[in-house]
Amino acid sequence: MYNYLKENNYEQIWDTCERYGDQDDDLWVQALTYFASRDDAKCMEYIKKILNRIESKDFLSPLIVLEILGKNQKITFGVIKNYLKM
């Protein structure tokens, strides 16, 4: 996955998480951290999808999620509100 992160290949990052994320939850954390660090508006959609996975698998505490997302001031409440409602 490192190469996809380095190349900013969003779709391949997502595909890798989809394919191997059940075996390694850390892939989802890496992807969330990566997308949260970007200023690209496309990343917000990936963040929403990752948050849905994190919630459905219940493997990461909401506090850690907010800590990761809090590093980017451009992430709005609208991006995370559905996650926080769950």
In tens, the pLDDT along 25-84 reads 999 999 999 999 998 999 999 999 999 999 999 899 999 999 999 989 889 888 888 888
Average pLDDT over every residue of 8-29? 96
Q: Is 6 exposed, middle or buried (0-12, 13-18, 19+ CB in 10 A)?
A: exposed
How is the chain split into domains, by residue range?
A: 2-85
Global pTM value: 0.90
The Cα–Cα gap between 73 and 86 comes to 22
The answer on pLDDT for 7 being more than 90 is yes
pLDDT value of position 38: 94
Question: What confidence tier does 86 reach under pLDDT thresholds 50, 70, 90?
Answer: low
Q: Do residues 85 and 52 make contact, with C-beta atoms less than 8 angstroms apart?
A: no
